[in-house]
Amino acid sequence: MLKQNLIDCDVIIIGAGVIGASVALALSRRGLKTLNVDTLPAAGYGSTSASSAVVRPFYAALEACALAHESRHHWTCWPEFLDATDERGYAEYTECGMMVLLAEGDEARLGANFEAMDEVGVAYSRLTPDQVLERLPGLNMGSFGPPKLPDDPAFGIANPRPLAGGLFIPQAGYVSDPQLAAHNLQRAAEAHGAEFRFNTRIDAIMRANGRVTGLTTEAGQTLEAPVVVNVAGPHSSKINAMAGIEDDMRTTTRPLRHEVAHVPAPGSFRLDRGACVLADGDAGVYLRPEVGGHMLIGTLDPECDGQDIVDADDYNPELTEQWTRQVWRTAQRFPELAIPNTAQGVVGLYDLSDDWMPIYDRSSLDGFYMAIGTSGNQFKNAPMIGPLMAALIVACEDGQDHDREPVQFVLPHLGRAIDLGFFSRLREAHSEGSGTVLA
């Protein structure tokens, strides 16, 4: 069979979400010819568009905390970071801060988070219950944990001890339009010669003599390149299977279905009244305000909910009982919350890794790289994942054995290096008990 539409380029990037577009920008800025291919009709139309786009440095691991704090700096000057125009305008970052509610014993349990933020230079304040209420006066400071299902007889019954207070991080917030952010990155990459091809489904990964050589599409096209980067989000495991690299991975990925509820915000939780991102492990939810008097409610994946692992090409796109669980748990915290009769919100997929931390790595197939397992929480790091992956790819292609001598990536604003071995596919599972799920 004759090859159709053969394209020669330096790097093929599978996926055009916010991370795939960031990788394209970083590599094209280095003078490489890149091509992003995506099954969807435009950049950021998949998991990116369903993201709550929370930006926060609250992690127990130093590498994760530093990467998030560095990325936040670039969100604060987003047009300057892009250095390109977009006919649709720019995504906006709202720095409203983040409140982490603390139950009895949480401060000791989260000691690694405090240590990481201290080391990186993240400002934060410990608040008493009264100080929490000064900022968020509508809160019920009772403790209801551990999170329960609404049909549990103990649901809504407060524990003897109320919440112990809170932690406020001023340098945190959210991005208003995550899909627009991906489009911004696409336009910036295109200004450096990057190309994007949409409505394109991959059929196979090509390889020869232990090295990737490109891919073929279901439409019969052959696309050749010496480097391929898997940034396929919830489809990442399917792409890895095509490449035949799964047996070489200690940490793997799978698609996790999530729901985010959109509800009218109670009067005390509005942006014009000082509302902020709220992480409530006691109730098993996170919240963020939205322009127009609404708020988003996501889940922190408490044990009682279980995990809805699905096929990325065949899952229920409708809101379910999960919506009700999240909203009712939020109503425990906000007694004035009016629960709508009609559910509104977003259903999306996380690319979930075994330990909720991403895989930014090479693979056992030379030339095949991965930026996967982003678990919903890596949107915040999009400005720096592109440069990180570019540094990794260039070092490996220049002959560095990253598995034995991990690449050290310098965060330019913080002026410190992080060890990219932390994100290795070969790692033992990280112990990350900080409420990593904040999409």
- What spatial distance separates the first Cα and last Cα of the chain, rounded to whole Å? 45
Cα distance between residue 381 and residue 436, in whole Å: 13
Residue 339 has pLDDT above 60, yes or no: yes
Cα distance between residue 142 and residue 91, in whole Å: 37
Q: H or E element: which one contains 413? A: none
What pLDDT sits at residue 375? 82
Q: Quickly list DSSP for 350-401.
A: EEEETTS--EEEE-SSBTEEEEE--TTT-GGGHHHHHHHHHHHHHHHHTT--
Q: H or E element: which one contains 302? A: none
Residue 2 has pLDDT above 60, yes or no: no
What pLDDT sits at residue 438? 55
What pLDDT sits at residue 5? 54
Residue 131 has pLDDT above 70, yes or no: yes
Cα distance between residue 163 and residue 159, in whole Å: 9
Q: How many residues does the chain have?
A: 439
Query: Stretch 197-203: mean pLDDT, rounded?
Result: 98
Residue 1 has pLDDT above 50, yes or no: no
Cα distance between residue 127 and residue 148, in whole Å: 26
Q: Could you read off the pLDDT of 281-307 as tens digits, one per residue?
A: 999 999 999 988 999 999 999 999 999
C-alpha dihedral (84, 90, 91, 93), degrees to nearest 10: 90
Residue 6 has pLDDT above 70, yes or no: no
What pLDDT sits at residue 17? 97
Cα distance between residue 333 and residue 31, in whole Å: 52
What pLDDT sits at residue 424? 98
What pLDDT sits at residue 432? 56
Query: Which runs of E-coded beta strand occur in 293-336?
Result: 294-299
Q: Could you read off the pLDDT of 132-147 as tens digits, one per residue?
A: 999 999 999 999 999 9
Residue 98 has pLDDT above 60, yes or no: yes
Q: Identify the band that residue 7 occupies on the pLDDT scale cut at 50, 70 and 90.
A: low
Q: Identify the band that residue 8 occupies on the pLDDT scale cut at 50, 70 and 90.
A: confident
What pLDDT sits at residue 272? 83
Does residue 289 have a cis bond before it (omega within 30 degrees)? Answer: no
Q: Identify the band that residue 430 occupies on the pLDDT scale cut at 50, 70 and 90.
A: confident
What pLDDT sits at residue 3? 41
Residue 4 has pLDDT above 70, yes or no: no
Under 8 Å CB-to-CB from 326, ≥6 apart: which residues? 259, 261, 285, 297, 298, 299
Burial of 171 (0-12, 13-18, 19+ CB in 10 A): buried
Please report, as a single letter, which amino acid is at residue 345.
G
Residue ranges and CATH numbers for the domains of the chain are 4-90+177-252+355-423 (3.50.50.60), 94-173+254-352 (3.30.9.10)
Mean pLDDT of the chain: 95
Q: Could you read off the pLDDT of 345-402 as tens digits, one per residue?
A: 999 999 999 999 999 999 999 999 999 999 879 999 999 999 999 999 999 999 999 9
Under 8 Å CB-to-CB from 248, ≥6 apart: which residues? 363, 364, 425, 426
What pLDDT sits at residue 434? 43
Q: Could you read off the pLDDT of 273-282 as tens digits, one per residue?
A: 889 999 999 9
What pLDDT sits at residue 260? 97
% pLDDT > 70, the chain: 97
Q: Could you read off the pLDDT of 41-83 as tens digits, one per residue?
A: 999 999 999 999 999 999 999 999 999 999 999 999 999 999 9
